[in-house]
Amino acid sequence: MTIDVTVVAADERSADSDLDVDVRRWERLAVDVLLDRQAQGELTLTFVDTDEIAALNAEYMGKQGPTDVLSFPLDVLGDAPPEGLLLGDVVVCPAVAAQQYAEHAGTLDDELALLVVHGVLHVLGHDHTETDEAEQMRALELQLLMAHHWRSGPPAGFRLIHSDDASDDPVDDPADGLSGES
């Protein structure tokens, strides 16, 4: 079986943005995650400024202010997806990632990788509204980051959850040697 995956990535931030984003690198990570999950279809990955993501957050989530990543699944996924399936859109805000990485993933590079993986998983139907869903999604995020971002175990100080989130998540347990303090 041939898996057909396309990721169209773009940096739509203003020209005066001072953060460097390697769009092709993050596009490749999204492709790797889709292939790993045996997903077929097309995904867009867009990097935007805080004003744009705040507007999207207000319009589609009913929340005020910027956020780090938004995902918009498009077509319903089934057992045999049709050719040309539009999987959805992932929108990442590097400026928000830059503000939170120290308290979250540890480095900006790891934060952007986590946001890309997190967004793609949402497009594929994963969620974290319930505790068991959150644990499963975080475990999958870690697995995918290890396989396609670090190509080994996570670095010291990496955390899957924000310091203000629930700290009893077994995936984020420092005793496991998988993360730093939460």
pLDDT by residue for the chain (182 residues), tens only, comes to 677 999 999 999 998 888 999 999 999 999 999 999 999 999 999 999 999 999 999 999 999 999 999 999 996 655 545 566 899 999 999 999 999 999 989 999 999 999 999 999 999 999 998 999 999 999 999 999 999 999 999 998 898 876 545 443 333 332 233 322 22
Query: Is 182 a domain residue?
Result: no
Q: pTM of the full predicted structure?
A: 0.86
Please give the tally of structural domains in the chain. 1
Amino acid at site 56 = L
Query: Is 49 a domain residue?
Result: yes
Query: Is 181 a domain residue?
Result: no
- For position 148, which CATH number holds? 3.40.390.30
Closest among 98, 107, 7 to 50, alpha carbons compared: 98
Query: Is 124 a domain residue?
Result: yes
Cα 77 → chain centroid? 19
Query: What residues make up the domain containing 98?
Result: 5-176
What does residue 128 show for φ and ψ, rounded to 5 degrees? -140, 35
What does residue 79 show for φ and ψ, rounded to 5 degrees? -65, -35
Closest among 164, 6, 25 to 84, alpha carbons compared: 6
